[in-house]
Amino acid sequence: MICRAMKRTAFGALAAVMLAAASAPAAAGCVPWKSAGSIISKNSLIPGNVIYSKVQSKTGGKVISANLCESNGNFVYKMVVLGKKGDVQNLTVDARTGKF
């Protein structure tokens, strides 16, 4: 019983942290990938949905947050991925090549 209660508490805490990370405002120079269509077109970047699918396929996880960020003409997607076992990864993917 105690073990079950601890697991529920840990799961609840993890869920709260993930939701807070996913709903946090984008960093300076970043926009949510769903709002980045004109930037993607103008700069010949790989579309966010292509990167999204590639990341989920390669990691086996689920993307819970994704932003397109620019610094000095370099574009990257910053993504938070939730793994099958509840692990959380922060990935940076080159928006021109798709490499991560």
Provide the 8-state DSSP code for 86. Answer: S
Cα 20 to Cα 3: distance, rounded to the nearest angstrom = 26
The pLDDT value given to residue 4: 53
pTM for the whole structure: 0.70
pLDDT in tens, 43-66: 999 999 999 999 999 999 999 999
The pLDDT value given to residue 37: 93
β-pair partners for 52: none
Cα 36 to Cα 61: distance, rounded to the nearest angstrom = 23
Provide the 8-state DSSP code for 9. Answer: H
pLDDT in tens, 60-96: 999 999 999 998 889 999 999 999 999 999 999 999 9
Is the pLDDT at 16 greater than 70? The verdict is no
